[in-house]
Amino acid sequence: MNLRQISGIGVALAVAAFVSGVTVEASAQETETFATPSGTTLSVTTGEEVFVEGDYALRDAFVLTSRINSTMPGSMMIPFSFRIEPGDLTFRGASREWEYFCAPNDRSAASFPGLGSVVADGDCVGVRRRLSDGRLEWTVDNSVHNGMTTIWSRRVRNNEMALLRKEERQVVSDLAVRRAVYFDGFYSGLLNFTFVDGGQRREMKFDYDGEGEKLIGMLGKRMLVLGADSVELRYRWVE
C-alpha cells in the first residue's frame, strides 16, 4: 500500500480546470490539512512520495450505479446517442452557471447518426449540476472534437435520478502540497531521497546495508526502514 492509497488523496485538481473548449474555474472549497500517517506500514517505488504535507479540498463527485444508454438533442435538434458505464463521474470544472462531472473516456461515448463518434480526448461525457438550484443534466461537451464550443444536454429524468449517487471526495492540488520527500532509490549502500519545500529542493542520503530494519530521522520525524532495493522502499513512520 502506498502513501496516496493510505491517505485517500486524489491527484491534481488544478486551480483552473479545462472543460473541452471552455476554460472554467473551480469554485472555492473547504480545505483540511493532511499529513503522512504514523504507525502504518507503507511501500513506495522510485519517484513516489514517502512523506507529503499540505491541504486537500472536499469536493463533490457522482457515482453512476448502472449503465446509461440514451439520447439528447444535438445540432438542429437531431437526437444523438450517448453512453456512460457505471463508475465515478469526477469534477472537471465549473462555469458561472454549471459544475461539470465527467466519466473517463474509456467508460463513455457519444455518436451522431451518419457520423459515428463525436467526442475526442479532452471532451466531457457525464452530468452537470446547476449552481443556483442543483438541477442535474446529462451533458456532452464535444468542443475539442468540433474545434469550437459545443455543449449539449438534457435534464436527468425522475426515473434516472436513482442511477446517480453523490459522494464527497478528498482532492489535493499540486499547489496545496507544502512539503514532500521522494524516494530516489537504494544503491551503493545509500538510501536516496529528495526533499521539496516550496520551490527549494535538496538531496538526503542515509547509510543502509540492505538487511533488517534501520531507524533514520528526517524533518524532525523518525522513519523505520523495513527493507529496500533499487526500486522499492518499505517503511513505517514512528512517533
* Res 20: pLDDT: 44
Task: Report pLDDT digits (tens) over 177-228.
Answer: 678 899 999 999 999 999 988 778 899 999 999 888 999 998 888 999 999 9
Per cent of the chain over pLDDT 90 is 57
Distance CA 157, CA 118 (A): 23
Phi/psi of residue 39, each to 5°?
80, 5
Q: Name the region of 87 (left: φ>0; alpha: ψ -120 to 50; beta: rest).
A: left
Integer Cα distance of 137 and 134 in angstroms: 10
- Residue 151 pLDDT > 60: yes
Question: Of 49, 55, 9, whose CA–CA distance to 235 is shortest?
Answer: 49
List, for residues 28-39, the tens digit of each pLDDT value. 445 555 566 778
Mean pLDDT across the chain? 83
pLDDT at residue 213, as a whole number? 94
Among residues 88, 78, 93, 89, the alpha carbon closest in space to that of 21 is found at 93
Give the pTM: 0.56
Local structure of residue 118 (DSSP, 8 states): -
pLDDT at 18: 34
- Compute the C-alpha angle 210/213/218, nearest 5°: 95
Q: With beta carbons less than 8 A apart as the criterion, state whether 183 and 233 touch.
A: yes
User: pLDDT, tens digit, for every residue of 106-139?
Assistant: 999 999 988 899 999 999 999 999 999 999 999 9
